[in-house]
């Protein structure tokens, strides 16, 4: 059965208003993804292309725009999954490349694994000659130190970081613009992906929900596609993406499924998040518990819709 293609994308959930540049970039990324779908490309291709556009912009906390961690390094996570055969690939704490989402797809397609981490993931990406990004400049490292100092972190040791992190308000952690996308192609297949540079005050070695299949991302042609953004520690504890997908498979609508699971996230672990949810029949929902979520959708009619608040 031929489906009418659709793509959804997000630029993170948090407290900061979307900028004009981010709005334009997200609209252009949606157009890139949809045009691929219109030409007959797979949902997987469209998700990768959309996220690559966001990673390359420098406007979001992903790819070349990724924030620095407390030690001044830029470590990134990404994952991608397709719903027909449930194939998935992911990387965590990868450094020095412009497009972690493409590295994640290579893990899926060129290895027998799902997740590669750290320096071996970086070496793997370099083997395939992925575009590199330059190392952080002295000015960027200095700016990172100023940012951490503004939260009282300039000289903080690891134990103190953990203690403070547990007491931070969400407003101090969010606003870090993870990116993601979900898509439905003409063949009725779906895919999901996400890419991030993490959150504020990250200890080196910290991994959030983005590269964990079933937490930050999930896709199943018999259920739906989900891409998450928010405080990863809480998303991991609920395995949010898989729980939403399971409710979709049981017949719950995207809106009802995401509302129920996000309420559980808040009540059980005091978490905050936003989600893109897409059912195999084309129904979709964008929901968030944070004050804002930069996100949008397009099905080829009119112009892409991009906002930073969704009901």
The backbone torsions φ and ψ at residue 10, rounded to the nearest 5 degrees and listed phi first, read -135, 155
Which SS3 state, helix, strand or coil, does residue 284 take? Answer: strand
Residue 142 CA to residue 295 CA, distance in Å, equals: 31
Q: Could you give the C-alpha distances from 178 to 45, 85, 153, 155, 197, in angstroms and in order? A: 19, 26, 22, 27, 7
Rounded distance between C-alpha atoms, residue 129 and residue 123, angstroms? 10
CB neighbour class for 31 (10 Å; exposed up to 12, middle 13-18, buried from 19): middle
What does the alpha-carbon distance between residue 306 and residue 293 come to, in Å, rounded to a whole number? 10
- Dump strand ranges (E) for the chain: 6-14, 76-82, 88-94, 115-117, 179-184, 190-196, 217-220, 224-230, 273-278, 284-288, 292-298, 305-307
CB count within 10 Å of CB 151 equals 14
d(CA 233, CA 241): 13
Handedness of CA 72, 73, 74, 76 (dihedral sign): negative
Decide if 19 is catalytic.
no
In this structure, the number of other CB atoms found within 10 A of the CB of residue 197 comes to 26
273-278 and 284-288: which strand pairing? Answer: antiparallel
**Which one is catalytic: 178, 229, 252, 289?**
178
- Residue (of 293, 39, 66) closest to 195 by Cα position: 66
Which residues are part of the catalytic machinery? Answer: 178
């Amino acid at each position: 059965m031929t489906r009418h293609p659709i793509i959804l994308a997000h630029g993170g959930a948090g407290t900061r208003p979307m900028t004009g540049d981010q709005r334009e970039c997200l609209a252009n990324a949606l157009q890139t993804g949809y045009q691929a779908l219109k030409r007959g490309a797979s949902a997987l291709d469209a998700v990768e292309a959309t996220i690559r556009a966001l990673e390359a912009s420098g406007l979001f906390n992903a790819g070349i725009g990724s924030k620095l961690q407390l030690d001044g390094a830029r470590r990134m996570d990404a994952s991608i999954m397709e719903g027909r055969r449930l194939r998935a690939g992911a990387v965590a704490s990868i450094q020095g490349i412009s497009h972690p989402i493409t590295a994640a797809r290579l893990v899926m397609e060129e290895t027998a694994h799902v997740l590669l981490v750290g320096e071996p993931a970086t070496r793997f990406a370099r083997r395939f000659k992925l575009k590199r990004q330059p190392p952080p400049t002295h000015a960027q490292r200095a700016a990172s130190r100023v940012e951490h100092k503004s939260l009282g972190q300039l000289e903080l040791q690891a134990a103190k970081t953990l203690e403070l992190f547990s007491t931070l308000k969400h407003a101090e952690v969010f606003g870090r613009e993870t990116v993601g996308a979900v898509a439905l192609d003409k063949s009725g297949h779906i895919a999901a992906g996400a890419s991030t540079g993490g959150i504020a005050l990250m200890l080196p070695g910290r991994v959030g929900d983005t590269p964990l299949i079933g937490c930050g991302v999930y896709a199943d042609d018999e259920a739906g596609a989900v891409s998450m953004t928010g405080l990863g520690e809480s998303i991991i504890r609920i395995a949010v993406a898989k729980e939403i997908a399971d409710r979709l498979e049981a017949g719950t609508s995207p809106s009802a499924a995401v509302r129920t699971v996000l309420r559980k996230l808040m009540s059980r672990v005091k978490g905050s998040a936003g989600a893109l949810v897409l059912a195999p029949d084309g129904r979709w929902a964008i929901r968030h518990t944070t004050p804002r979520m930069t996100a949008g959708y397009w099905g080829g009619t009119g112009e892409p819709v991009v906002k930073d608040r969704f009901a």
